[in-house]
Amino acid sequence: MKLPFSGVMTPVLFSLLLCLNVQAATPGGDWTHLQPEHEQVIASLNIVELLRRHHYNKPPLDDARSQKIHANYLKSLDPARLFFTRQDLEHYQAWETRYDDFLLKGNLEPGFELYRLYLQRQSLYLEQSLHTLKEGLEHMDFNRDESLETDREKAAWPADLPELKDLWRKRLKDEVLRLKLAGKQDQAISELLTKRYRNQLKRLQQIRSEDVFQTYINAFTQTYDPHTSYLSPENAENFDINMSLSLEGIGAVLQNDNEHVKIVRLVPAGPADKSKLLAPADKIIAVGQGSKELVDVIGWRLDEVVKLIRGPKGTQVRLEIIPASNAPNDPTSKVVSLTREAVKLEEQAAKKSILELEQNGHTARIGVIEIPTFYIDFKAYRAGKPDYKSTTRDVKRLIAELQKEKIEGIVIDLRNNGGGSLQEATELTSLFIDKGPTVLVRNSNGRVDVLADDEANGPFYRGPVAVLVNRLSASASEIFAGAMQDYHRALVIGGQTFGKGTVQSIQPLNHGELKLTLAKFYRVSGQSTQHQGVIPDISYPALVDTEQIGESALPEAMPWDSIKPAISVRKDPFKPYLAELQARHDSRTQQDPDFIYSRERLALVRKLLQETRVSLKESTRRAEQARIDQLQLQLENRLRTAKGEEPLKALKEDDDESLLTHSENDADSKPEDDAYLKETAHILIDWLNLNPVARNP
């Protein structure tokens, strides 16, 4: 969808600005060649106008937004507060309330000047680190009792350059210690870090004016919301490059995480998903082609890492990752090998299974329909082919097959389903309700469009339903789950969903493109899916850190709100029984090894995340690492013992198996082995026993 726009704005003259000369003449390099280009100026003016006219919120570009731009730009350049000092910030303080004026006049020089200072400081840091490494690790004092704050997002800015350089010294020492604890020898550490820092210096020299412009303009656009962003001409050719590798890649959604690239979610039926070797929040630290040497990618841009991972179908790519299952500050890595391939539609298709469970002396048969994504073969659909493939068609067929097998209820499994076709989310809902609205879309002018099931044939399936979700259930998954909850058609069980409830459109510019948030999704109850997602009726312990994954983890995420509901409030048949269902669930899972493990692991991770100050004394650091390893080992062995498995003598014996394989990511195809799926079926059986009328609606 293209937004109406009157055309390219005419250029305006730069306003005069006295540049603050804080750059040194030679140390850290000369970056004066990086200057704003004419076409970038025109693009910035167009972006300002598009945001003013068409962004969903239409917030003013004023002094208050200027302060947000300043803070956001500093954070995007220096999230760990490693390169700017309080002296620098005092020097630039006058700009805090002037970015609105700069942008309205097409003056990009302030953004370029701060970026040049950032490059100078990063060069100084790399040069200092290389000099220290050249002197030899034997000159580093690992017996000195000092520490480093690793979570520096809210740390105080270093006062001046000497304090900054001391921070750099400690940071290098921490890098060396991490590699020592990971089992590397001094010579290997020195070679690895020297190569890494030289490569980063080389990459700094390749920074272009477009890189500066994109970073600066996105610091501006993302003060509106995290999904509104400028795409350079190169990225605009295929804007999915920053979001998905589903085409001839590994099938993973990636994002920057300070100097690392982090996996956000796995594309269903993609190479990474099928391998069971990768998980959300894993950090990629090196990439190799086939059997060639791994290339260290710490400090690289997201698009550069993506280019390394992408490649011809059938070829191999090796990734060195720091697993999400590691304790915080545990740098131990492992290498996984994947074969690149395009994700096929049939591999993402919905599939069924049957759970047979003993409960209260009765064997219950519960059907399970797993939906990895909301798909439709648009090409066949538009061509008018009667046998086109879609989520709704497949699920309808699977329901019919399950009914022939005498199931008592159905679990719709939407875990890790990142969304897909909005049309299919609406069509799928129509299989379970009489008729009526399924989702509301509100645009920036306040107009609400209602998507509805207008068929008067009644529901295709009237029996009991539970919808199983988790933090990685997003977008179309949230629309379907929300509608099923609002119509009181299903129990929603599992984890709080992702919370992305906004709609974006691509707007061409004279130079690149703007991805613009122009609408918002609402459930038929009038509640937004944005930020909050769908809250389950009965919740399971989270298996990923919800503070790192999800819409609410993104800066400037638009808030949850509500509008007028599209349906009248109906009697909720589940409400009188929820307390009893919760009590039975709690009683059953209190002794369940997988649920105990999930709760204890989540508690341990949260506890360790609070321990952000690390010792730079080697003996203390090793003792601390041994303590954390022992805690993890005890946690793992309690689970193994409860399941009748052989305990581990050391945590790293289990290197090739992520701890997450004891959860919903288990590769075992038997549904009975999936603790969360089995418990969801038990809850559905409880509901049928408490309310026998539900068996024959």
List, for residues 19-77, the tens digit of each pLDDT value: 333 333 346 778 999 999 999 999 999 999 999 999 999 889 999 999 999 999 999 99
pLDDT at residue 237, as a whole number:
59
Q: Which residues face 514 on adjacent strands?
A: 230, 507
Contacts of 257 (CB under 8 A, 6+ apart): 283
Compute the distance between CA of residue 515 and CA of residue 51 in angstroms, rounded to an integer. 10
- How large is the C-alpha radius of gyration of the chain? 27
Whether residue 500 lies in the annotated active site: yes
**Start-to-end CA span in the chain (Å):** 42
Compute the distance between CA of residue 602 and CA of residue 467 in angstroms, rounded to an integer. 23
pTM of the full structure: 0.85
pLDDT at 564 over 60: yes
Residue-wise pLDDT for 238-266, tens only, equals 544 333 333 457 888 888 877 889 888 88
Least confident among 333-347, 455-469, 549-563 = 333-347
Whether residue 486 lies in the annotated active site: yes
Residue-wise pLDDT for 64-121, tens only, equals 999 999 999 999 999 999 999 999 999 999 999 999 999 999 999 999 999 999 999 9
CB 44 within 8 A of CB 50: no
Contacts of 589 (CB under 8 A, 6+ apart): 595, 596, 679
Sole residue written with tokens 């709080």: 496
Find the catalytic residue in 174, 453, 486, 686: 486
CB 395 within 8 A of CB 432: no
> Is beta strand 362-370 parallel, antiparallel or unpaired with respect to 351-359?
antiparallel
Segment holding 86, helix H or strand E: helix 86-91
Segment holding 391, helix H or strand E: helix 391-404
pLDDT at 380 over 70: yes
Mean pLDDT over 123-136 rounds to 96
Q: Which CATH architecture has domain 345-592+674-695?
A: Alpha-Beta Complex (3.90)
CB 341 within 8 A of CB 314: yes
For residue 623, the Cα-to-chain-centroid distance in whole angstroms is 33
pLDDT at 327 over 80: no
Compute the distance between CA of residue 645 and CA of residue 650 in angstroms, rounded to an integer. 15
Find the catalytic residue in 180, 283, 500, 617: 500
Compute the distance between CA of residue 191 and CA of residue 537 in angstroms, rounded to an integer. 54
| Domain boundaries of the chain, sorted by first residue | 38-221, 229-339, 345-592+674-695
Mean pLDDT, all residues of the chain: 87
pLDDT at 160 over 60: yes
pLDDT at 653 over 60: no
pLDDT at residue 456, as a whole number:
62
pLDDT at 4 over 50: no
Q: Which has the closest alpha carbon to 265: 467, 416, 90?
A: 416
Contacts of 97 (CB under 8 A, 6+ apart): 63, 66, 67
Q: Which has the closest alpha carbon to 140: 180, 178, 179, 169?
A: 169
Residues 618, 623, 629, 635: what is their CA dihedral angle, to the nearest 10 degrees? -160
Q: What are phi and psi of 302, to 5 degrees?
A: -60, -45
Contacts of 664-672 with CB under 8 Å at 24 or more apart are 664/415, 664/416, 664/470, 664/543, 665/276, 665/279, 665/543, 667/276, 671/353, 671/354, 671/355, 671/368, 672/355, 672/356, 672/357
pLDDT at 408 over 60: yes
Tokens matching residue 209: 């004016």
Q: Which CATH class is domain 229-339?
A: mainly beta
Burial of 549 (0-12, 13-18, 19+ CB in 10 A): buried
pLDDT at 12 over 70: no
Q: Which residues face 453 on adjacent strands?
A: 436
CB 398 within 8 A of CB 368: no
Q: Which has the closest alpha carbon to 655: 345, 332, 361, 369?
A: 332
Compute the distance between CA of residue 425 and CA of residue 429 in angstroms, rounded to an integer. 6
Contacts of 536 (CB under 8 A, 6+ apart): 469, 492, 493, 494, 495, 496
pLDDT at 542 over 90: no
Q: Which residues face 266 on adjacent strands?
A: 252
Tokens matching residue 195: 């190569």
| CA pseudo-torsion sign 539, 541, 546, 550 | negative
Whether residue 435 lies in the annotated active site: no
Compute the distance between CA of residue 282 and CA of residue 322 in angstroms, rounded to an integer. 6
Compute the distance between CA of residue 512 and CA of residue 520 in angstroms, rounded to an integer. 25
Find the catalytic residue in 475, 598, 658, 663: 475
Percent helix, strand, coil in the chain, to 5, is 40, 15, 40
Residue-wise pLDDT for 192-234, tens only, equals 999 999 999 998 998 999 999 999 999 999 999 999 999 988 7
- Work out the pLDDT band at 385, boundaries 50, 70, 90: confident
Residues 8, 52, 241, 502: what is their CA dihedral angle, to the nearest 10 degrees? -140
Compute the distance between CA of residue 147 and CA of residue 521 in angstroms, rounded to an integer. 47
pLDDT at residue 10, as a whole number:
31
CA atoms within 13 A on the CB side of 76: 26
